[in-house]
Amino acid sequence: MVGDYYRYICENSKDAAFEAAKQSAKKAYERAAAIELPACNPIQLGLALNFSVFHYEVMKEHSKACEIADSALQGALDKIDELEEDEFRDAKSIIELLKENLTLW
């Protein structure tokens, strides 16, 4: 959530404020990504979705955004059959968003 907060600041800032928020967002996303959660965990998938959007929209690193989204998508698809019903529904909706972004990008 901290990374998302700074990403929103980036989307509405310029110059020095933009650069500071961009670096803070990147650090926050990287710290969160370092916490290893199962590939199908909805929090993990949401992080990958938001971090990929950050790379695409803020950093303008389109290939990195696709790499993050595709890696999360493939990891989740490999484990999707192991999920309980509730977790499956949550994961499936985020998986669809990852697919949509990859198609658009």
Per-residue model confidence (pLDDT) at position 100: 97
Alpha carbons 105 and 100: distance in angstroms, whole number = 9
Residue by residue, DSSP assigns 22-52 as HHHHHHHHHHHHTS---TT-HHHHHHHHHHH
Give the tens place of pLDDT for each residue, 19-32: 999 999 999 999 99
Per-residue model confidence (pLDDT) at position 55: 96
The answer, yes or no, to whether residue 2 has pLDDT greater than 90, is no
Per-residue model confidence (pLDDT) at position 57: 93
Q: Return the domain boundaries, the chain.
A: 2-104
Per-residue model confidence (pLDDT) at position 23: 94
Give 2-104's CATH code, choosing from 1.20.1250.20, 2.40.128.640, 2.60.40.10, 1.20.190.20: 1.20.190.20
Give the tens place of pLDDT for each residue, 3-15: 888 898 988 888 8
Alpha carbons 47 and 101: distance in angstroms, whole number = 14
Give the tens place of pLDDT for each residue, 42-98: 999 999 999 999 999 999 999 999 999 999 999 999 888 887 777 888 889 999 999
Per-residue model confidence (pLDDT) at position 61: 96
CB 64 within 8 A of CB 55: yes
